[in-house]
Structure 1
Amino acid sequence: PGGPPSLVTGDPRDFGAQIFRGNAFDTCQAPSVSTMRAWKGASPFGAVGVYIGGRGRACPKQKHLSPAWVAAVHKQGWKLLPVYVGSQSPCVIAKNKRKVRMSGKDPYGQGRREGQDAVRQARKLGMAQRSAVYLDMEAYRYKNRKCADTTLRFVQGWNSAVRAQGYVAGFYSSANSGIAHLEKARAAGARGLPTAVWFARWRVRPSVNGERNLNPKAWQPHRRIHQHTGNKKRTYGGRTVSVDHNLVDAPVAIIK
């Protein structure tokens, strides 16, 4: 609608976001405080992705994640990347995610409700306004036009609810799926897109700027995360965790 497509640009710090630049890991189950302490000194990581909620979350029972955990790891010096795994696309590829597909009736409204819940979960953990929260949308067949439209409406609804409460709306997906779809939508003039994108492309050199499915000028500066390696067992300080590796230049949670 109206005018050239937005490139979703500008420094997010201008509206109060906090940026982390460096290496992060994410893992299904937030590790214990003592594991986080052991890793802080010995690992190359300075930030961690934590799964804060959503009906599609793979590890719904988080043994360690709590307001006390967030406060403790924040004190250790970690930055946090909150991830919310909500309803998935109607044409999601993974069989295990099909039971949590969004309904096609009112995807925008459903997205809004889940966006409100995402902020509620972030708040409960002590993450303040201007914190980023990333919506996890697993790979889907975005070339199916009807499915792509439904998914985009859900994402726009989710973003609008997250923003309305003063939080920063992020989006995680595979580079060849959700990210390619959002870039196409952006180029076509869609509004209400995420502030930051987190793209999964494994087995390539880590780079926030080299993703071929993103316009080099879009989602810049400090609005990108590249998940470049997945499902690797890593041991630091005598503690082993199975993790994905990410290169980050993007907004994180702000801990009260």
Structure 2
Amino acid sequence: MRRWKSRGLAAIGGVLAFLVVGLAPPAAAEPETPVAYPSGSTVTRADRLGFDACTAPSRAALDAWNGTSPYRAVNIYFGGNNRACAQPNLTRDWVHDVTAAGWKLLPTYFGYQPFCMFGDKPHRYTVTSAAARGNSDADDAVARAAALGVRPGSALYADVEHYDRENSTCRTAVRRYVSAWTKSLHADGYLAGVYVHQDSGLRDLSNSYDSTSYARPDAVWMARWDGSTSLQGWPTAPDSHWSAYQRAKQYRGDHDETWGGVTINIDSDVLRAPVATVARTYRVTSTSPLNARSGPAASYPVVRTHEPGATLSVLCQATGQQVGTTKVWDRLAGGAWVSDYYVSTPSDTTFTSSIPRCLYPGQVTIDTLNARTGPGTSFPVTGSQLRRGALAHVICQKAGGTVGTTNVWNKLRDGRWVTDYYVANRSNTTWSAPVPRCP
């Protein structure tokens, strides 16, 4: 991190798979705990280079780097009792404005550290206090994230600095802390990430990846300063762990870079991982009040109306009923939906590239899960399988062939389908709010 861093199953499908393989249904338990997404939420992904700096840069500095540097993501140290640097720039307006300018944010919480951490950070947990500290840090992180406008569905990353893993009690303490952090964030509708050293935290969390004693975090951000931007071939975690938009790497440590005439001291990162969700502001373009509905179609009930010219906080976009020239609907921060045809986004025919698609991922609960071309086991298998613990990036749900206890199928961000039975969410028997129904 900054300054304080120690240097240095094929699823056969259908009821037959359940009966023959004898697999238990997914449950709200370790290691794949479900996320309780509220209606006003979505998960945002980033696939790009980024950087982290001890203090959030000014808007002017980021403007200078935007378009001149190779970076399009920046971390924010948004809380934690071991956070070292002042954050004069880090306000709700700053978060809104830099997101509107195209930056993805990697929210980092520097809270309690393991008692065997290398370094001099004062606030630490023991093996007996680790779970309580993980819970309290997660609660504080959610409150601080919300105050900055970092919405549910965001991934919040706990900074777990390098520690002495020769101490077996300390390894247990770290796992307890991360498990509590993960479960608490999931209960509040956030994804759980961790920043870890390749030789301590990553190794230990990978070793307990399938343990039913600990909740598995959704994403890992590894420190290994070897100059390589590869997110595969890591020496202390197999590629099958955190395999679907669940990895980031800090590949170069403390150094200065100058772009657009502005110099910042940074670490360099590569991301293919969940990041912060922040609402973008648009306005109503209709000449009469715009109905906001409980789903992305005119058949859903009206939950409120917005006057012409009113400001809308848009979280994400999804496909729904065609209105005018578009099938795109916008999900608002309050959870309701409006047709994008009457919103001042750049297009009234298709999706806006700067607005994320509505996503509600859950971890895969089976060793390997087949993805198919349609919502049933009669459809052909397509593409690579999803591995246990991978995030199934669900955009909508539809009734299909019965698997286990459900006929619900999930359409993924890439257009493929997986049975909901093997995805950890609120239910393995019926629909999972707030995931929309597929049109």
The structure 1 segments of at least 4 consecutive aligned residues displaced by more than 2 Å after TM superposition are: 103-106, 187-191
Distance of 1:104 and 1:215 partners within structure 2: 27
Q: Is the 8 A contact 2:31 2:211 kept in 1?
A: no
Question: Which sits farther off after the overlay, 74-83 or 207-216?
Answer: 207-216
Q: Is the 8 A contact 2:226 2:251 kept in 1?
A: yes
CA distance in 2, matches of 1:169, 1:7: 13
Deviations 1:147-194 (A, max 9, x none): 111121111111111111000100001111111111112155543121
Amino acid at match of 1:32: S
Residue 67 (str. 1) matches residue 92 (str. 2): yes
In structure 1, what is the equivalent of residue 57 of structure 2?
Answer: 31
Partner of 2:73 in structure 1?
Answer: 47
Q: Does the CA-based 8 Å contact 1:210-1:216 persist in structure 2?
A: yes
Matches within 5 A, 1:66-145: 66-94=91-119, 96-97=120-121, 99-145=122-168
Q: Give the distance between the partners of 2:213 and 2:238, measured in 1 at CA.
A: 15
Give the C-alpha shift of residue 92 in structure 1: 0.2
1:208, distance to aligned residue in structure 2 (A):
0.9
The answer to whether the 8 A contact 1:7-1:218 is kept is no
Match of 1:242 in 2: 265
Q: Deviations over 1:8-58 (max 9, x none)?
A: 7xxxxxx94211001000000001010011111211001101100001112
Partner of 1:56: 82
Partners of 1:7 and 1:49 in 2: how far apart? 27
Aligned to 2:240: 217
Q: What is the Cα deviation at residue 124 of structure 1?
A: 0.6
In the alignment, structure 1 residue 22 sits paired with structure 2 residue 48: yes
Amino acid at match of 2:55: Q
Give the total of aligned pairs: 244
1:191 to 205, 211, 214: 214
Q: Which one-letter code corresponds to 2:246 in the other structure?
A: R
Alpha-carbon deviation of 1:7?
9.2
- Cα pair 1:25 1:48 within 8 Å, conserved: yes
1:46 partner letter? R
Q: Distance in 1 between matches of 2:177 and 2:105?
A: 25
TM-score by length of 2: 0.54
SS at match of 1:68: helix
Residue 235 of structure 1 and its aligned partner are, at CA, apart by 0.4
8 Å CA contact retained: 1:7, 1:219: no
Q: TM-score, normalised by structure 1?
A: 0.91
CA distance in structure 2 between the aligned counterparts of 1:180 and 1:237, rounded to whole angstroms: 39
The structure in which a higher percent of residues are helix is 1
- 1:104: Cα distance to partner? 3.8
Partners of 1:229 and 1:244 within 8 A in 2: yes
RMSD over aligned Cα, in angstroms?
A: 1.8
**Structure 2: how far apart are the matches of 1:80 and 1:232?**
20
Q: Is the Cα–Cα contact under 8 Å of residues 160 and 195 in structure 2 kept in the other structure?
A: yes
Of structures 1 and 2, the one scoring higher in RCO (CA 8 A, sep 6+) is 1
Equivalence for 2:392: none
Where does structure 2 lack aligned partners over 5 or more consecutive residues?
1-22, 25-29, 33-40, 280-439
Structure 1 unaligned regions, length at least 5: 9-14
The one-letter code of the counterpart of 1:116 is D
Are 1:228 and 2:254 counterparts? no
Letter in 2 for 1:57: R
Instruction: Say which SS state the counterpart of residue 141 (structure 1) adopts.
Output: coil
